[in-house]
Structure 1
Amino acid sequence: MADSQNAQMLNKVPQVTLYFWIIKILATTVGETGADFLNIRLGLGLNGTSVAMTGLLALVLIIQMRNDHYVPWQYWLVVVFLSVVGTLLTDTLTDELGVSLYASTVIFTLALITTFMIWHRSEHTLSIHDIDSVRREAFYWAAILFTFALGTAGGDLVSEKLGQGYLTASVIFGGVIALIAAIYYARWLGPVIAFWLAYILTRPLGASIGDLLTQAKDAGGLGFGTMPTSGVFLIIIVCLVIYLSKSKIDSPIGVEGR
């Protein structure tokens, strides 16, 4: 049950529609390409990019959490920044601290499991349909951050460390997501577990797609570059968020009239 001081807060997470997954994958890809663009192309460096993006994430997260209902542009802005910061967490461990992708994958897996355990022990649910208090929303965003960091580490592990390449990695992660969806619709898997498994795996899927589009051809990519890819995907995200803001088709129950 939500804290009494937050009793009037409405669910802060949109309905899980096709638009949700499309924007999630696009935001995930932007996290991968955007971090590389700021770090390398603009020359901010890994540390400079991490500081700047973490500061901006804190700002948009404060704006998001001060509201008492779902607002599309606020929600998805947080997701985009979390995607970038999650990527930078893994890159910092790998490039700055020399932590292997095997180790970082284990580290973020344990961090995510721990977050889920504390969340469930505190709130007795992991459902995204019950993000109706500040504490639950804090658990939700912490879990999202670790899914992005874990997805980055896992995606890089499969595509680079294990030598599968970006295209093969995209097919692998896309196939596993499709399998989870099939098991869910066959009613062999509960909705909460199915959602979080799919959410975790869309991160390495988006990261692999991002690398496939941006990396040079001799590195296994298509060579489109980080700036064009990030720009196009951001434009699509903005258009979809504007549509959702006007149509309200993804608004949680009770928010439609806002």
Structure 2
Amino acid sequence: MNAQNPVGRPAVRVPAPSASFWITKAASTALGEALSDFSIHIMPPVVAVLLGFVLFAGALALQLTRRRYIPGVYWLTVAMVGVFGTMAADVVHVVLGAPYVVSATVYALLLALVFVGWRLAERNLDVHEITTTRRELFYWAAVVGTFAMGTALGDFTAVGIGLGYLPSIALFAVLMLVPVLGYRVLHWNGVFAFWFAYVLTRPLGASVADWLGKPIADGGVGLGAGWVSLGFALLMLALVLPAALRARRKAYAGTASKYLA
């Protein structure tokens, strides 16, 4: 029996925080940023946004039909949230002309409303308790909000105030220490610390992707969004595949034990 699914308790549908979780999450944010940039350069932006939404909706629908955490499906959904969340933030800035600080503030308010609604409806924002469809819907609404807000925040520091991509990486890396130290040293509430860190992984990963992909003249390394997308896609595959194989072995062992008992 899986330790996350004791007798009489529904299975948790999302992964628990761990070192590998945070590394994979950061890779997914960078992938989302790079793939979004790459897609709008190889196809009309409207087509890219529509395609991004379709892929996001399809991945989310697949995830919601699962009744337990399946690494491949979950991280595919996170990657698609990364792509669509980036596009959503960019549309607000490019199409509507909203300054980055405005779009970041709007997304922050929407994210706050998601958390308030989640708290009122479920009394619990703990990711270890995502065992029902309603809780999972709140979870994914929060995830989308963090990606959109984080994208706008990263663009605001790098471009809006002219800090640049590499200094933005340093800034958000330092800020990531705040929830880590708050949780481990100051004994912050674990749920608050988790979502604090979750928000910051987005601008951190996006800044890394932009720094690697943007032209040298714009303060980047100049690798190009396509190569950066491929690199982070391979990194995510390398991170998720072992977890998927372990989950498969556990499921097989659990099924075998039932018939051998």
Q: Residues 8 and 184 of structure 1: is their aligned pair in 2 closer, same or farther, counting only changes over 3 Å?
A: closer
**8 A Cα contact 2:216 2:222, kept in partner:** yes
CA distance in 2, matches of 1:195, 1:203: 13
Structure 1: 4+ residue segments shifted above 3 A: 254-258
CA distance in 1, matches of 2:9, 2:60: 20
Tell me how far 1:59 sits from its aligned partner: 1.0
Equivalent residue for 2:18? 17
CA distance in 1, matches of 2:190, 2:181: 12
Instruction: Please list, as runs of the form range in 1=range in 2, the aligned pairs for 1:203-218 lying within 5 A after superposition.
Output: 203-218=202-217
CA distance in 2, matches of 1:27, 1:122: 29
CA distance in 1, matches of 2:57, 2:181: 37
Instruction: Please list, as runs of the form range in 1=range in 2, the aligned pairs for 1:1-258 lying within 5 A after superposition.
Output: 9-40=10-41, 42=42, 44-248=43-247, 257=254
Tell me how far 1:248 sits from its aligned partner: 3.7
CA distance in 1, matches of 2:253, 2:168: 39
Q: Residues 121 and 36 of structure 1: is their aligned pair in 2 closer, same or farther, counting only changes over 3 Å?
A: same
Amino acid at match of 1:164: L
RMSD: 1.8
**8 A Cα contact 1:248 1:256, kept in partner:** no
**8 A Cα contact 2:70 2:247, kept in partner:** no
Aligned residues: 247
Ranges in structure 1 where 5+ consecutive residues have no aligned partner:
1-6
Tell me how far 1:180 sits from its aligned partner: 1.9
CA distance in 1, matches of 2:212, 2:254: 40
CA distance in 2, matches of 1:257, 1:114: 40
CA distance in 1, matches of 2:252, 2:49: 34
Amino acid at match of 1:64: Q
Post-superposition Cα deviations, 1:25-64, rounded to whole Å, max 9, x if no partner, equal 1110011100010001x1x232211100111111111111
TM-score normalised over the length of structure 1: 0.92
CA distance in 2, matches of 1:256, 1:109: 43
Post-superposition Cα deviations, 1:83-107, rounded to whole Å, max 9, x if no partner, equal 0110000110111111111110110
TM-score normalised over the length of structure 2: 0.91
